[in-house]
Amino acid sequence: MKKCLIIGGGLAGLSTAVFLANKGIKVELLEASLKLGGRTYSLEDKFTSDIIDNGQHILMGCYKDTLDFIQIINAEDNFIFQKQLKVNLLKEDFKLFQLKSKNIFYPFNLILALLNYKAITFNERLSLLKFFAKLYFYSGDFLRKLTVYQWLILEKQSENIIKSFWEILAVGALNTNIKRASAKVFSDILKKMFFRGNKASIIILPKFGLSETFCVNSKKFVEENGGKISLLEHVNELVISEKKVISIKTNKREITGFDYVVSAVPYFILKNIPGSNQIILTNIDFQYSTIISIHIWLKENNLEDNFYGLINSKIHWVFNHISHLTLVISDANELAELPKEELFEIAASQLDKYLKISKDKISSYKIIKEKRSTFVPAHDILDKRPDSKTGLVNFFLAGDWVNTGLPSTIESAVKSGRLAAGLIN
Protein backbone atom coordinates (compact mmCIF):
# COMPACT_ATOMS: atom_id res chain seq x y z
CA MET A 1 0.00 0.00 0.00
CA LYS A 2 1.32 3.45 -0.95
CA LYS A 3 1.87 5.92 1.90
CA CYS A 4 1.41 9.70 1.88
CA LEU A 5 2.46 12.23 4.51
CA ILE A 6 0.26 15.32 4.81
CA ILE A 7 1.59 18.46 6.46
CA GLY A 8 -1.18 20.53 8.05
CA GLY A 9 -4.52 19.63 9.62
CA GLY A 10 -6.75 22.40 8.32
CA LEU A 11 -9.60 21.62 5.94
CA ALA A 12 -7.18 21.34 3.01
CA GLY A 13 -5.11 18.75 4.87
CA LEU A 14 -8.11 16.89 6.26
CA SER A 15 -9.83 16.71 2.87
CA THR A 16 -6.60 15.52 1.23
CA ALA A 17 -6.34 12.78 3.86
CA VAL A 18 -9.99 11.78 3.42
CA PHE A 19 -9.88 11.70 -0.39
CA LEU A 20 -6.67 9.65 -0.31
CA ALA A 21 -7.91 7.24 2.37
CA ASN A 22 -11.09 6.80 0.37
CA LYS A 23 -9.11 5.42 -2.54
CA GLY A 24 -6.88 3.14 -0.51
CA ILE A 25 -3.78 5.26 0.12
CA LYS A 26 -2.37 5.03 3.65
CA VAL A 27 -2.00 8.52 5.13
CA GLU A 28 -0.35 10.15 8.10
CA LEU A 29 -1.26 13.74 8.85
CA LEU A 30 1.07 16.00 10.85
CA GLU A 31 -0.49 18.97 12.67
CA ALA A 32 1.67 21.44 14.58
CA SER A 33 -1.07 22.56 16.99
CA LEU A 34 -3.26 20.73 19.48
CA LYS A 35 -6.35 20.98 17.27
CA LEU A 36 -7.52 20.15 13.77
CA GLY A 37 -9.37 22.53 11.46
CA GLY A 38 -6.78 25.25 10.88
CA ARG A 39 -8.73 28.51 10.52
CA THR A 40 -12.01 26.59 10.83
CA TYR A 41 -12.50 25.50 14.43
CA SER A 42 -14.65 25.94 17.53
CA LEU A 43 -13.91 26.38 21.21
CA GLU A 44 -15.74 26.52 24.52
CA ASP A 45 -16.49 29.93 25.96
CA LYS A 46 -15.23 29.77 29.52
CA PHE A 47 -17.95 32.02 30.95
CA THR A 48 -21.05 30.45 29.37
CA SER A 49 -19.70 26.97 28.47
CA ASP A 50 -21.26 27.43 25.01
CA ILE A 51 -19.39 26.21 21.95
CA ILE A 52 -18.49 29.12 19.67
CA ASP A 53 -16.71 29.25 16.32
CA ASN A 54 -13.60 31.26 15.54
CA GLY A 55 -15.57 32.61 12.59
CA GLN A 56 -18.97 31.80 11.13
CA HIS A 57 -18.81 29.81 7.90
CA ILE A 58 -21.60 29.07 5.47
CA LEU A 59 -21.64 26.69 2.55
CA MET A 60 -23.66 26.86 -0.65
CA GLY A 61 -25.25 24.25 -2.84
CA CYS A 62 -22.63 24.93 -5.53
CA TYR A 63 -19.84 23.74 -3.20
CA LYS A 64 -19.53 20.43 -5.03
CA ASP A 65 -16.19 19.30 -3.62
CA THR A 66 -17.16 20.20 -0.06
CA LEU A 67 -20.45 18.34 -0.37
CA ASP A 68 -18.62 15.28 -1.71
CA PHE A 69 -16.20 15.52 1.21
CA ILE A 70 -19.07 15.77 3.70
CA GLN A 71 -20.76 12.76 2.15
CA ILE A 72 -17.61 10.62 2.33
CA ILE A 73 -17.12 11.35 6.05
CA ASN A 74 -20.85 10.79 6.69
CA ALA A 75 -21.39 14.30 8.08
CA GLU A 76 -24.55 15.38 6.22
CA ASP A 77 -26.53 15.33 9.46
CA ASN A 78 -24.20 18.05 10.80
CA PHE A 79 -25.77 20.64 8.48
CA ILE A 80 -29.01 22.48 7.81
CA PHE A 81 -29.84 22.50 4.07
CA GLN A 82 -32.25 25.08 2.69
CA LYS A 83 -34.89 23.71 0.32
CA GLN A 84 -34.84 26.92 -1.69
CA LEU A 85 -32.70 30.04 -1.47
CA LYS A 86 -33.84 32.36 1.30
CA VAL A 87 -31.81 35.28 2.61
CA ASN A 88 -33.18 37.80 5.11
CA LEU A 89 -31.76 41.27 4.59
CA LEU A 90 -32.38 44.16 6.95
CA LYS A 91 -32.33 47.91 6.71
CA GLU A 92 -32.52 50.07 9.82
CA ASP A 93 -35.47 49.59 12.22
CA PHE A 94 -35.81 45.90 11.30
CA LYS A 95 -37.10 46.64 7.80
CA LEU A 96 -37.01 43.15 6.36
CA PHE A 97 -36.42 42.32 2.68
CA GLN A 98 -36.12 38.78 1.42
CA LEU A 99 -34.20 37.32 -1.46
CA LYS A 100 -36.35 34.22 -1.68
CA SER A 101 -36.68 31.60 -4.37
CA LYS A 102 -40.11 30.19 -5.19
CA ASN A 103 -40.85 26.48 -5.50
CA ILE A 104 -41.05 26.59 -9.30
CA PHE A 105 -38.83 25.52 -12.17
CA TYR A 106 -35.25 26.76 -12.40
CA PRO A 107 -34.25 29.40 -13.54
CA PHE A 108 -37.62 31.13 -13.19
CA ASN A 109 -37.46 30.69 -9.40
CA LEU A 110 -34.27 32.78 -9.24
CA ILE A 111 -35.56 35.36 -11.72
CA LEU A 112 -38.65 35.87 -9.56
CA ALA A 113 -36.49 36.04 -6.44
CA LEU A 114 -34.57 38.97 -7.95
CA LEU A 115 -37.74 40.63 -9.27
CA ASN A 116 -39.34 40.47 -5.82
CA TYR A 117 -36.30 41.82 -3.95
CA LYS A 118 -37.86 45.11 -2.82
CA ALA A 119 -34.81 46.60 -1.11
CA ILE A 120 -34.15 48.13 -4.53
CA THR A 121 -36.55 49.79 -6.98
CA PHE A 122 -38.27 47.89 -9.77
CA ASN A 123 -36.07 49.53 -12.41
CA GLU A 124 -33.01 48.57 -10.38
CA ARG A 125 -34.25 44.98 -10.27
CA LEU A 126 -34.50 45.01 -14.07
CA SER A 127 -30.94 46.35 -14.18
CA LEU A 128 -29.86 43.48 -11.94
CA LEU A 129 -31.50 40.92 -14.25
CA LYS A 130 -29.83 42.55 -17.25
CA PHE A 131 -26.47 42.15 -15.52
CA PHE A 132 -27.04 38.41 -15.02
CA ALA A 133 -28.24 38.03 -18.61
CA LYS A 134 -24.91 39.43 -19.85
CA LEU A 135 -22.72 37.49 -17.41
CA TYR A 136 -21.67 34.71 -19.80
CA PHE A 137 -20.79 37.17 -22.58
CA TYR A 138 -17.83 38.64 -20.68
CA SER A 139 -14.45 37.10 -21.42
CA GLY A 140 -12.23 36.08 -18.56
CA ASP A 141 -9.32 38.07 -19.99
CA PHE A 142 -11.40 41.26 -19.97
CA LEU A 143 -12.62 40.72 -16.41
CA ARG A 144 -9.05 40.15 -15.21
CA LYS A 145 -8.45 43.84 -15.92
CA LEU A 146 -11.32 45.01 -13.71
CA THR A 147 -12.13 45.12 -10.03
CA VAL A 148 -15.63 44.09 -8.97
CA TYR A 149 -16.55 47.73 -8.41
CA GLN A 150 -15.32 48.80 -11.87
CA TRP A 151 -17.32 46.00 -13.43
CA LEU A 152 -20.50 47.00 -11.61
CA ILE A 153 -20.12 50.65 -12.59
CA LEU A 154 -19.48 49.61 -16.22
CA GLU A 155 -22.78 47.72 -16.09
CA LYS A 156 -24.56 50.79 -14.70
CA GLN A 157 -25.38 49.23 -11.36
CA SER A 158 -26.58 52.07 -9.12
CA GLU A 159 -25.09 52.82 -5.72
CA ASN A 160 -28.30 51.55 -4.15
CA ILE A 161 -27.97 48.18 -5.96
CA ILE A 162 -24.33 48.00 -4.94
CA LYS A 163 -25.07 48.73 -1.28
CA SER A 164 -28.25 46.66 -1.06
CA PHE A 165 -27.19 43.62 -3.07
CA TRP A 166 -23.71 43.44 -4.55
CA GLU A 167 -21.66 44.45 -1.51
CA ILE A 168 -23.45 41.95 0.70
CA LEU A 169 -22.90 39.16 -1.81
CA ALA A 170 -19.35 40.07 -2.88
CA VAL A 171 -17.87 40.94 0.51
CA GLY A 172 -19.40 37.80 2.00
CA ALA A 173 -18.01 35.61 -0.77
CA LEU A 174 -14.61 37.28 -1.16
CA ASN A 175 -13.98 38.86 2.27
CA THR A 176 -12.50 41.78 0.36
CA ASN A 177 -13.52 45.29 -0.56
CA ILE A 178 -15.11 45.29 -4.00
CA LYS A 179 -12.65 48.00 -5.09
CA ARG A 180 -9.79 45.51 -4.61
CA ALA A 181 -11.25 42.14 -5.59
CA SER A 182 -10.91 40.72 -9.08
CA ALA A 183 -14.02 40.79 -11.28
CA LYS A 184 -12.85 37.51 -12.86
CA VAL A 185 -12.96 35.61 -9.56
CA PHE A 186 -16.35 37.10 -8.68
CA SER A 187 -17.73 36.27 -12.12
CA ASP A 188 -16.73 32.63 -11.71
CA ILE A 189 -18.47 32.49 -8.32
CA LEU A 190 -21.67 34.03 -9.70
CA LYS A 191 -21.79 31.45 -12.48
CA LYS A 192 -21.48 28.62 -9.96
CA MET A 193 -24.14 30.10 -7.67
CA PHE A 194 -26.79 31.10 -10.18
CA PHE A 195 -26.21 28.99 -13.29
CA ARG A 196 -25.71 25.47 -11.93
CA GLY A 197 -29.29 24.47 -11.27
CA ASN A 198 -31.88 24.90 -8.56
CA LYS A 199 -29.80 23.72 -5.62
CA ALA A 200 -26.61 25.64 -6.41
CA SER A 201 -27.74 28.84 -4.71
CA ILE A 202 -29.10 27.37 -1.46
CA ILE A 203 -27.43 28.22 1.85
CA ILE A 204 -26.07 25.40 4.03
CA LEU A 205 -25.36 26.11 7.69
CA PRO A 206 -23.50 24.00 10.27
CA LYS A 207 -25.70 22.71 13.09
CA PHE A 208 -22.82 22.43 15.53
CA GLY A 209 -19.44 23.97 16.23
CA LEU A 210 -17.02 23.81 13.32
CA SER A 211 -14.70 21.31 15.00
CA GLU A 212 -17.53 18.87 15.59
CA THR A 213 -19.01 19.58 12.17
CA PHE A 214 -15.89 18.85 10.11
CA CYS A 215 -12.96 17.59 12.18
CA VAL A 216 -14.44 14.81 14.30
CA ASN A 217 -15.87 12.90 11.33
CA SER A 218 -12.72 13.47 9.24
CA LYS A 219 -10.43 12.10 11.95
CA LYS A 220 -12.67 9.10 12.47
CA PHE A 221 -12.78 8.32 8.74
CA VAL A 222 -9.01 8.56 8.32
CA GLU A 223 -8.30 6.37 11.33
CA GLU A 224 -10.92 3.78 10.40
CA ASN A 225 -9.20 3.49 7.02
CA GLY A 226 -5.77 2.78 8.47
CA GLY A 227 -4.50 6.35 8.64
CA LYS A 228 -2.86 8.22 11.48
CA ILE A 229 -3.12 11.80 12.77
CA SER A 230 -0.24 13.22 14.82
CA LEU A 231 -0.88 16.45 16.75
CA LEU A 232 1.71 18.83 18.21
CA GLU A 233 4.20 17.77 15.56
CA HIS A 234 5.58 20.51 13.34
CA VAL A 235 7.89 20.12 10.36
CA ASN A 236 11.38 21.57 10.81
CA GLU A 237 12.92 20.63 7.48
CA LEU A 238 12.24 19.03 4.11
CA VAL A 239 15.21 16.95 3.00
CA ILE A 240 15.32 16.90 -0.81
CA SER A 241 17.53 14.95 -3.17
CA GLU A 242 17.29 14.54 -6.94
CA LYS A 243 13.93 16.30 -7.23
CA LYS A 244 12.36 14.20 -4.51
CA VAL A 245 11.59 14.61 -0.81
CA ILE A 246 13.45 11.76 0.86
CA SER A 247 12.81 12.58 4.53
CA ILE A 248 10.98 15.02 6.77
CA LYS A 249 12.46 16.24 10.04
CA THR A 250 9.95 17.25 12.71
CA ASN A 251 10.31 18.41 16.30
CA LYS A 252 9.91 14.76 17.36
CA ARG A 253 11.58 12.54 14.74
CA GLU A 254 12.88 12.08 11.21
CA ILE A 255 10.34 10.41 8.91
CA THR A 256 11.26 8.26 5.91
CA GLY A 257 9.63 5.40 4.06
CA PHE A 258 6.81 7.39 2.46
CA ASP A 259 5.92 7.59 -1.21
CA TYR A 260 4.35 11.05 -1.37
CA VAL A 261 4.09 14.29 0.59
CA VAL A 262 1.34 16.91 0.44
CA SER A 263 1.86 20.30 2.05
CA ALA A 264 -1.50 21.70 3.17
CA VAL A 265 -0.25 24.62 5.25
CA PRO A 266 -0.64 28.31 4.38
CA TYR A 267 1.90 29.89 2.06
CA PHE A 268 3.48 32.01 4.81
CA ILE A 269 4.19 28.85 6.82
CA LEU A 270 5.47 26.70 3.96
CA LYS A 271 7.93 29.30 2.68
CA ASN A 272 9.66 29.37 6.09
CA ILE A 273 10.30 25.62 6.23
CA PRO A 274 13.94 24.87 5.31
CA GLY A 275 14.02 23.11 1.97
CA SER A 276 10.89 24.78 0.63
CA ASN A 277 12.99 27.13 -1.51
CA GLN A 278 13.31 24.24 -3.95
CA ILE A 279 9.50 24.12 -4.22
CA ILE A 280 8.45 27.78 -4.07
CA LEU A 281 10.56 29.41 -6.75
CA THR A 282 8.88 32.83 -6.80
CA ASN A 283 7.74 35.09 -3.99
CA ILE A 284 3.97 35.61 -3.80
CA ASP A 285 2.96 38.86 -2.14
CA PHE A 286 -0.31 37.70 -0.61
CA GLN A 287 -2.30 40.41 1.15
CA TYR A 288 -4.69 39.20 3.82
CA SER A 289 -8.14 40.22 5.05
CA THR A 290 -9.37 40.06 8.61
CA ILE A 291 -12.68 38.62 9.75
CA ILE A 292 -13.97 39.74 13.13
CA SER A 293 -16.57 37.62 14.93
CA ILE A 294 -18.46 39.18 17.83
CA HIS A 295 -20.35 36.63 19.91
CA ILE A 296 -23.23 38.19 21.83
CA TRP A 297 -25.26 36.60 24.62
CA LEU A 298 -28.73 38.06 25.21
CA LYS A 299 -30.91 37.99 28.29
CA GLU A 300 -33.72 36.95 25.95
CA ASN A 301 -33.46 35.98 22.29
CA ASN A 302 -36.62 36.57 20.25
CA LEU A 303 -35.10 36.27 16.78
CA GLU A 304 -36.74 33.60 14.64
CA ASP A 305 -34.48 33.09 11.62
CA ASN A 306 -31.04 31.50 11.37
CA PHE A 307 -29.27 34.49 9.89
CA TYR A 308 -29.68 38.05 8.65
CA GLY A 309 -27.65 40.25 6.31
CA LEU A 310 -27.43 43.94 7.26
CA ILE A 311 -27.63 46.49 4.44
CA ASN A 312 -25.13 49.37 4.57
CA SER A 313 -23.91 48.43 8.05
CA LYS A 314 -20.47 47.91 9.58
CA ILE A 315 -21.80 44.50 10.62
CA HIS A 316 -22.34 42.30 7.57
CA TRP A 317 -24.11 39.26 9.00
CA VAL A 318 -25.89 38.19 12.17
CA PHE A 319 -26.16 34.44 12.82
CA ASN A 320 -28.65 33.17 15.37
CA HIS A 321 -27.43 30.18 17.40
CA ILE A 322 -30.29 30.51 19.92
CA SER A 323 -27.85 30.39 22.86
CA HIS A 324 -26.00 33.36 21.37
CA LEU A 325 -25.67 35.54 18.28
CA THR A 326 -22.58 35.77 16.10
CA LEU A 327 -22.01 39.09 14.37
CA VAL A 328 -19.55 38.97 11.46
CA ILE A 329 -17.49 41.81 10.04
CA SER A 330 -15.79 40.74 6.81
CA ASP A 331 -12.98 42.72 5.15
CA ALA A 332 -12.24 44.10 8.61
CA ASN A 333 -8.59 45.22 8.34
CA GLU A 334 -9.48 48.81 9.19
CA LEU A 335 -11.12 47.69 12.44
CA ALA A 336 -8.66 44.96 13.38
CA GLU A 337 -6.56 47.10 15.73
CA LEU A 338 -9.49 48.62 17.60
CA PRO A 339 -9.77 47.56 21.25
CA LYS A 340 -12.43 44.95 21.95
CA GLU A 341 -14.47 47.42 24.00
CA GLU A 342 -14.79 49.71 20.99
CA LEU A 343 -15.73 46.83 18.71
CA PHE A 344 -18.41 45.82 21.17
CA GLU A 345 -19.84 49.35 21.09
CA ILE A 346 -20.03 49.16 17.30
CA ALA A 347 -21.79 45.80 17.52
CA ALA A 348 -24.23 46.98 20.17
CA SER A 349 -25.14 50.13 18.22
CA GLN A 350 -25.81 48.11 15.04
CA LEU A 351 -27.91 45.55 16.90
CA ASP A 352 -30.00 48.39 18.28
CA LYS A 353 -30.26 50.16 14.93
CA TYR A 354 -31.08 47.16 12.77
CA LEU A 355 -32.63 44.51 15.01
CA LYS A 356 -33.99 46.70 17.81
CA ILE A 357 -31.93 44.86 20.40
CA SER A 358 -30.85 47.46 22.92
CA LYS A 359 -27.53 47.30 24.75
CA ASP A 360 -29.18 46.59 28.11
CA LYS A 361 -30.45 43.26 26.70
CA ILE A 362 -26.88 42.01 26.22
CA SER A 363 -25.52 39.89 29.06
CA SER A 364 -22.00 39.18 27.78
CA TYR A 365 -19.83 39.08 24.66
CA LYS A 366 -16.63 37.64 23.21
CA ILE A 367 -14.63 38.92 20.24
CA ILE A 368 -12.38 36.82 17.98
CA LYS A 369 -10.14 38.39 15.32
CA GLU A 370 -8.76 36.23 12.51
CA LYS A 371 -6.22 38.59 10.94
CA ARG A 372 -5.10 36.18 8.21
CA SER A 373 -8.50 34.73 7.58
CA THR A 374 -8.37 34.96 3.78
CA PHE A 375 -6.10 36.35 1.10
CA VAL A 376 -7.21 39.22 -1.12
CA PRO A 377 -8.16 37.86 -4.59
CA ALA A 378 -6.67 40.78 -6.49
CA HIS A 379 -5.54 40.81 -10.15
CA ASP A 380 -1.83 40.57 -9.43
CA ILE A 381 -2.28 37.38 -7.40
CA LEU A 382 -4.38 35.31 -9.80
CA ASP A 383 -1.56 34.22 -12.11
CA LYS A 384 0.91 33.66 -9.27
CA ARG A 385 -1.08 31.01 -7.39
CA PRO A 386 0.79 27.73 -7.91
CA ASP A 387 -0.75 24.50 -9.15
CA SER A 388 -0.87 21.48 -6.88
CA LYS A 389 1.83 19.76 -8.91
CA THR A 390 5.33 20.98 -8.12
CA GLY A 391 8.78 20.48 -9.60
CA LEU A 392 9.35 17.56 -7.21
CA VAL A 393 8.10 14.17 -8.33
CA ASN A 394 6.56 13.20 -4.98
CA PHE A 395 5.57 16.55 -3.44
CA PHE A 396 2.22 18.30 -3.96
CA LEU A 397 0.47 21.39 -2.67
CA ALA A 398 -2.97 21.88 -1.12
CA GLY A 399 -4.56 24.89 0.52
CA ASP A 400 -7.07 27.57 -0.37
CA TRP A 401 -4.17 29.66 -1.74
CA VAL A 402 -3.20 27.27 -4.55
CA ASN A 403 -4.65 27.59 -8.03
CA THR A 404 -8.21 26.37 -7.54
CA GLY A 405 -9.82 29.23 -9.45
CA LEU A 406 -11.75 30.12 -6.29
CA PRO A 407 -11.30 32.76 -3.59
CA SER A 408 -10.15 31.81 -0.11
CA THR A 409 -13.15 29.71 0.93
CA ILE A 410 -13.89 26.32 2.45
CA GLU A 411 -14.69 25.11 -1.06
CA SER A 412 -11.27 26.25 -2.30
CA ALA A 413 -9.52 24.44 0.56
CA VAL A 414 -11.43 21.21 -0.02
CA LYS A 415 -11.08 21.43 -3.81
CA SER A 416 -7.32 21.78 -3.37
CA GLY A 417 -7.37 18.59 -1.30
CA ARG A 418 -9.22 16.76 -4.06
CA LEU A 419 -6.80 18.06 -6.70
CA ALA A 420 -3.76 16.98 -4.70
CA ALA A 421 -5.26 13.57 -3.98
CA GLY A 422 -6.07 13.15 -7.66
CA LEU A 423 -2.36 13.38 -8.55
CA ILE A 424 -1.48 10.48 -6.26
CA ASN A 425 -1.92 6.86 -7.29
Per-residue model confidence as pLDDT tens digits over 182-221: 999 999 999 999 988 889 999 999 999 999 999 999 999 9
Distances (CA, A) of 272 to 60, 146, 236, 253, 332: 34, 33, 9, 19, 27
Q: How many residues does the chain have?
A: 425
**SS3 (DSSP) at 316:** coil
* pLDDT exceeds 80 at position 281: no
pLDDT tens per residue across span 159-182: 999 999 999 999 988 989 999 999
Domain over 288-375 is classified CATH 3.90.660.10? yes
Cβ-contact 76, 85 below 8 angstroms = no
> Angle formed by the axes of helices 410-422 and 64-72, to 10°?
70
pLDDT tens per residue across span 104-113: 788 888 999 9
pLDDT tens per residue across span 113-164: 999 999 999 999 999 999 999 998 999 899 999 999 999 999 999 999 999 9
* pLDDT exceeds 90 at position 367: yes
* pLDDT exceeds 80 at position 290: yes
* pLDDT exceeds 90 at position 331: yes
Mean pLDDT of 229-237: 98
Other beta carbons within 10 Å of 231: 13
Using pLDDT thresholds of 50, 70 and 90, give the confidence band for residue 279: confident
For position 105, what pLDDT does the model report?
82
The boundaries of every CATH 3.50.50.60 domain in the chain are 3-75+207-285+379-422
* pLDDT exceeds 90 at position 382: no
CA–CA dist 86, 362 (Å, integer): 28
The boundaries of every CATH 3.90.660.10 domain in the chain are 288-375
Using pLDDT thresholds of 50, 70 and 90, give the confidence band for residue 38: very high
At a CB cut-off of 8 Å and minimum separation 6, what does 236 contact? 249, 250, 251, 273, 274
CB-count burial class (<10 Å; 0-12, 13-18, 19+) for 420: buried
Mean pLDDT of 73-99: 96
Q: Where are the alpha helices (DSSP H) in 138-271?
A: 140-143, 148-154, 159-161, 167-174, 183-194, 210, 216-224, 267-270
**SS3 (DSSP) at 211:** helix
* pLDDT exceeds 90 at position 345: yes
Q: What are phi and psi of 185, to 5 degrees?
A: -60, -45
Predicted model pTM: 0.95
For position 79, what pLDDT does the model report?
97
CA–CA dist 199, 421 (Å, integer): 27
Distances (CA, A) of 114 to 1, 166, 168: 53, 12, 14
The CATH classification number of 3-75+207-285+379-422 equals: 3.50.50.60
Cβ-contact 324, 52 below 8 angstroms = yes
For position 93, what pLDDT does the model report?
96
How big is the CA angle at 374 (ends 197 and 322), to the nearest 5 degrees?
70
At a CB cut-off of 8 Å and minimum separation 6, what does 391 contact? 243, 278, 279, 281
CA–CA dist 425, 423 (Å, integer): 7
In sequence order, what DSSP letters do the residues of 24-89 get, joined into one string?
Answer: T-EEEEE-SSSSSBTTS-EEE-TTT--EEESS---EETT-HHHHHHHHHTT-GGGEEE-SS-EEEE
Using pLDDT thresholds of 50, 70 and 90, give the confidence band for residue 375: very high
Using pLDDT thresholds of 50, 70 and 90, give the confidence band for residue 372: very high
- What type of residue is 14? L
How many CA atoms lie less than 13 Å away from 224 in the CB half-sphere? Answer: 11
* pLDDT exceeds 80 at position 265: yes
* pLDDT exceeds 90 at position 57: no
